[in-house]
Amino acid sequence: MATAVLMAEVPARTIDLPKPCFHGAISLEKVLCTRRSVRAFSNEALELSQIGQLAWAAQGVTSAEAQRTAPSAGGLYALELYIIAAKVNGFPAGIYQYDCLTHEVVSLIEGDMRRRLSRAALDQSSILQAGAIFALSAVYERISAKYGQRGIRYAHMEAGHAAQNLLLQSVALGLGAVLVGAFDDAAVKRILKLSKQEAPLYLIPVGNP
């Protein structure tokens, strides 16, 4: 059960994430075979190395040309990735924005936000129990400037690619995760302090099953 913690905006500061691992102990085929939606999590905390690996899997840079783990129409990269940390060893609870170019996070808000997010997501218990929740948002203008209205569809495809990467990486790390798409968009936008241009698309609770 999440405990009530006061929310406080903080001066932006960056935190380095551990470098991602490129050689896993489990095959892709095994990961695909065993992936399932997990909605109940233990009280065991996540590790910062796991947070870094999951963020990289969703939106990490994989080339000198800044190409990412997930494809994007026209290489325009409409997505932003946020980490709502709650139970992560050595990592204060709060909301962080992932900087894929530097593999760092920027601290935005302090405090355990799970209860507020759960209320915004129809009181889903997976959010209350998760060690961390990953949030994907889209800035449609980045892609619609080139592709017009169809760019919105492309942004949604991109979010699906990134989310699946994160789910598969969770399995490879021995963790559980689930996609949450049922939530009050305006409430989630307020909680995460998203810009006017950003639309929240996914919440992905992650924890030890």
Domain architecture of the chain: domains with CATH: 24-207 (3.40.109.10)
| Residue 92 neighbours by CB distance under 10 Å | 13
Distance CA 200, CA 140 (A): 11
**Cα separations in angstroms, 98 against 33, 37, 126, 153, 196:** 29, 24, 22, 23, 18
Please give the chain's pLDDT, 209 residues, in tens.
444 444 556 666 899 999 999 998 999 999 999 999 999 999 999 999 999 999 999 999 999 999 999 999 999 999 999 999 999 999 999 999 999 999 999 999 999 999 999 999 999 999 999 999 999 999 999 999 999 999 999 999 999 999 999 999 999 999 999 999 999 999 999 999 999 999 999 999 999 99
**Cα separations in angstroms, 22 against 16, 65, 138, 169, 179:** 18, 18, 27, 11, 24
Residues present in the chain in total: 209
Instruction: Give me 138's structure tokens.
Output: 């889209």
Distance CA 121, CA 188 (A): 8
Instruction: Give me 27's structure tokens.
Output: 């095959």
Sign of the CA dihedral running 183, 38, 28, 83: positive
* 150-172 and 48-59 helices, crossing angle to 10°: 150
Question: Which contacts of 142-151 are long-range, i.e. CB under 8 A and separated by 24 or more positions?
Answer: 142/76, 142/77, 142/78, 143/72, 143/73, 143/74, 143/76, 143/78, 146/74, 146/76, 147/73, 147/74, 151/73, 151/78
What kind and span of H or E run contains 97? strand 94-99
Distance CA 90, CA 110 (A): 14
Burial class (CB in 10 A: 0-12, 13-18, 19+), 148: exposed
User: E strands within 104-158?
Assistant: 104-110, 132-139
Distance CA 164, CA 84 (A): 18
The tens digit of pLDDT for each residue in 112-138 reads 999 999 999 999 999 999 999 999 999
